[in-house]
Amino acid sequence: MKELIEKAEKTHQLSKAEIVLLLENHEIQEELFNAADRVRKEYVGDEVQLRGLIEFSNICKQKCLYCGLRASNKNVNRYRLQPDEIIELARKAKGYGYKTVVLQSGEDDYYTVEKITYIVTEIKKLEMAITLSIGEKTYEEYKAYRDAGADRYLLRIETTDKRLYEDMDPGMNHEDRKRCLEDLKEFGYEVGTGCLVGLPGQTIESLADDILFFKEIDADMIGIGPFIPNNDTPLKHSKGGDFDLSLRVMALTRLLLPDINIPATTAMEVINPQGRIIALKSGANVVMPNVTEGEARKWYALYPGKICVNDTPAHCRGCITGKIKGIGRDVSEGFGFHKKNSES
Ligand code: SAM
Ligand code: SF4
Ligand code: FES
């Protein structure tokens, strides 16, 4: 096993069978995490990239079985921020020192191409990098957002197991999801994808496929988080994802894609009170603190136990900076592009 970790650390290549062995092995995981931490340090350094997350609408037309925002959930108060409110949140995020905002929402057709391009154009005037995470769109829509100045796009593949994906996301299809990722690459976005760990019926083999898929599409960013069951969804009785397994998937992703950006995801912290810090010490180099204000923080409820719902954006900024410094790391002053694309 140790040889496998050494091989991954040196060559950044493993076969599917080798990945499966490491994913299954609990005993050696500390060494895996330490190797991922060394590779993170060597390739992307000690600086942690912060991105301010704006959750601007929890209205969604899709019905992903795992997600509290699914269209048929009647137990969530729905909200939509107006374009100028979103721009104002970005302005405030800049005031807290963020250089990037992530604009995330359900799949909400209220936000037409005109609205999104207006928001992107105005935020670009603030000299910030923009990541969009607003779901599946057409080729033309992705092009329009990119032309307006959007820098990055996050769209998790969720799982590379086509059957599982189509069971979990009724009405959606795996080919469409992959087409979206290809289109985004073609337009020159930095592309972020990722997976959920612990979906019902998901196998270790399919998690290994997920990691190989990330490498195959040459992703710029990979977000990995445990699936957390939500009582207001059909998956309320599921077991949910395991913290250590999620961390192993993340650490192996760092070993195989050494220079990409990897966030310490919020979901990691929901199932472990030190989750983001542990992730930062096991291969991650990005954190996305919430900069949404007021009740919306609470109602963007993908899963129960969401962190920071009663905190202010200013408080979170101070809190996360303190935690990062507490482990001897620094907050980056740059825009946090994929190393291969830029130095900032
Ligand atoms: N609607 C867009 C999409 O699906 O790509 C962006 C927003 S969606 C809420 C962002 C991510 O939340 C999804 O990609 C999914 O992986 C994650 N998510 C949804 N429900 C979750 C749950 N119950 N536990 C953990 N993560 C969840
Ligand atoms: Fe909608 Fe995204 Fe949630 Fe699916 S994961 S229901 S697309 S918000
Ligand atoms: Fe929100 Fe710590 S990051 S309270």
Identify the structural domains of the chain with CATH numbers, from first to last: 2-331 (3.20.20.70)
Distances (CA, A) of 44 to 128, 168, 241: 21, 34, 28
Task: Choose which residue among 266, 315, 324, 325 to substitute to test ligand 3 binding: the one with the highest number of ligand atoms within 8 A of its C-beta.
Answer: 315
Return the ligand 3 atom nearest residue 320 CA.
Answer: 3
Distances (CA, A) of 216 to 13, 79, 251, 297: 12, 37, 17, 35
pLDDT at position 342, please? Answer: 67
pLDDT at 177 over 60: yes
Ligand 2: distance of its center to the CA of 100 in Å? 23
- Helix, coil or strand: residue 190: strand
pLDDT tens digits, 191-216: 999 999 999 999 999 999 999 999 99
pLDDT-derived band at 266 (thresholds 50, 70, 90) equals very high
What average pLDDT does the structure give for the chain?
97
pLDDT tens digits, 13-28: 999 999 999 999 999 9
Distance between CA atoms of residues 229 and 211, nearest Å: 23
Max CA pair span of the chain: 54
pLDDT-derived band at 311 (thresholds 50, 70, 90) equals very high
Q: Which two tokens stand for residue 208?
A: 């290994």
Q: Which two tokens stand for residue 308?
A: 């920071």
Which residue do the tokens 């985004």 mark? 184
What average pLDDT does range 118-141 have in this prediction? 98
Tell me which of 244-248, 282-286, 333-337 is least confident.
Answer: 333-337
Give the number of other Cβ atoms within 10 Å of residue 211's Cβ: 25
Distance between CA atoms of residues 161 and 146, nearest Å: 29
pLDDT at 289 over 70: yes
pLDDT at position 244, please? Answer: 98
Give the number of other Cβ atoms within 10 Å of residue 110's Cβ: 10
Distances (CA, A) of 79 to 82, 97, 108, 183, 267: 10, 27, 11, 29, 22
Distance between CA atoms of residues 49 and 53, nearest Å: 13
Distance between CA atoms of residues 115 and 140, nearest Å: 15
pLDDT tens digits, 29-44: 999 999 999 999 999 9
pLDDT at 71 over 60: yes
pLDDT-derived band at 340 (thresholds 50, 70, 90) equals confident
What average pLDDT does range 209-228 have in this prediction? 98
Ligand 1: distance of its center to the CA of 156 in Å? 8
Question: What is the phi-psi region of residue 198: left when phi exceeds 0, alpha when psi lies from -120 to 50, beta otherwise?
Answer: left
Which residues have C-beta within 8 Å of that of residue 341, sequence separation ≥ 6? 190, 220
What average pLDDT does range 159-177 have in this prediction? 98
pLDDT at position 197, please? Answer: 98
Ligand 1: distance of its center to the CA of 42 in Å? 31
pLDDT at 333 over 70: yes
Task: Give CA angle at 203 (199, 207), nearest 5°.
Answer: 85
Instruction: Yes or no: say if 220 and 176 are a contact pair by the CB < 8 Å rule.
Output: no
Distance between CA atoms of residues 140 and 145, nearest Å: 9
Give the number of other Cβ atoms within 10 Å of residue 1's Cβ: 13
Q: What is the 3-state secondary structure (H, E, C) of 122-178?
A: HHHCCCCEEEEECCCCCHHHHHHHHHHCCCEEECCCECCCHHHHHHHCCCCCHHHHH
Percent of the chain with pLDDT over 90: 98
What average pLDDT does range 79-107 have in this prediction? 98
Q: Is 269 in the pocket of ligand 1 (CB under 6 A)?
A: no
pLDDT at 291 over 80: yes
pLDDT at 171 over 80: yes
Ligand nearest 318 Cα, by number? 3
pLDDT at 296 over 70: yes
Task: Give CA angle at 59 (65, 63), nearest 5°.
Answer: 20
pLDDT at position 343, please? Answer: 52
Pick the residue whose CA is nearest to atom 6 on ligand 2. 70
Percent of the chain with pLDDT over 70: 99
